[in-house]
Amino acid sequence: MAQQRRRREREPVLDDGYWFDEDLRIVEHLGGSRKVDVYLCHSVPLKTLVTCKVLRPEYRIDFSSLQAVLDEGDILLRLRHPNVVEGYGVELEDHPRIVMEHLEGETITSAFFSGNYQAFNLGDAVNVARDVASALTYVHEQGYLHLDVKPSNVMYHNGHATLFDFSVAEEYSPDETLRNDAGTTEYMAPEQTYRREVGYYTDVFGVGVLLYRLLSGGELPYELIEVDDEDEEGDGKTKRQLDYDIAPLHPSIHNPQVSQDLGDVALTAVSGEISEQYATPQEFADALLLAAEDLLA
């Protein structure tokens, strides 16, 4: 218990101007999460600004956290696609960190879901979904599932969307069985929520929820509910999850400008039944292009 309490004590963020080494200097603290801080840095050898995802000091002795940094860094170094963040390096000494491309712009969360529902027209929404689907198609071809597609993991700049944050990504091939309940509740497919077998369709569900929300003015396709749950010791508790038993409304109910065909694509992408879902992000992108031809002309 004492060790757990110490881990929760957040140490101060590093100061602007701090040098990780002779090649990398902090320009600004951008934010972070429970385990990591994100910094804007200047790379001397690259002669440009980069983003550094740095493990917080209180987790440096935690093996699983160090392994997560190494795993995500290794994935990013293998990926090269215009709609996927580029990784430049990973370092475990002193301040375990991933050095990656600095993405200009705002996350979809900041650009749209902060309340600025007029920020994107329907054509913009379709293009964002197509960009993310393109990123996922490539990621899947490289042998990974992202498993956490959501607005805060997509950067938007000058009409271009880039997928980032591979912290829960997993190696995957269709001939193996993978179960993973990582992800974010509002964007998790049923197979993630119930820890069933995941696949390419799992990432399609995530981008489907993103598209549905962009089309419908921010509405989620499924309601969030509280359900009873038991931990490994059998103790009762509650958790939040999507209510997959109630079918989503057509996006045009929320936004009359959405065509029947375009809304149908979003509904298929978020289907709770894998047999009714798009099997791959490419299949989703093809259907989206066909349904939105008039918007993209």
Q: Render pLDDT for 126-144 as a digit per residue (tens, 0 to 9).
A: 999 999 999 999 999 999 9
Strands (E), 9-47: 19-21, 24-32, 36-43
Residue 2 has pLDDT above 50, yes or no: no
Q: Could you tell me where the DSSP H helices lie in 174-280?
A: 190-193, 200-215, 251-254, 260-269
**What's the confidence (pLDDT) of residue 202?**
97
pLDDT in tens, 189-224: 999 999 999 999 999 999 999 999 999 999 999 999
Q: Which fold has domain 2-101?
A: Phosphorylase Kinase; domain 1 (3.30.200)
Instruction: Name the residue among 247, 190, 253, 191 with its Cα closest to residue 223.
Output: 247
CATH architecture of 106-296: Orthogonal Bundle (1.10)
Residue 82 has pLDDT above 50, yes or no: yes
Domain boundaries, the chain: 2-101, 106-296
Instruction: Name the residue among 220, 222, 208, 211 with its Cα closest to residue 276.
Output: 208
Residue 271 has pLDDT above 60, yes or no: yes
| Proportion of the chain above pLDDT 90, given as a percent | 79
CB burial of residue 1 (10 Å; 0-12, 13-18, 19+)? exposed
- Once rounded to an integer, what is the mean pLDDT over residues 170-193? 93
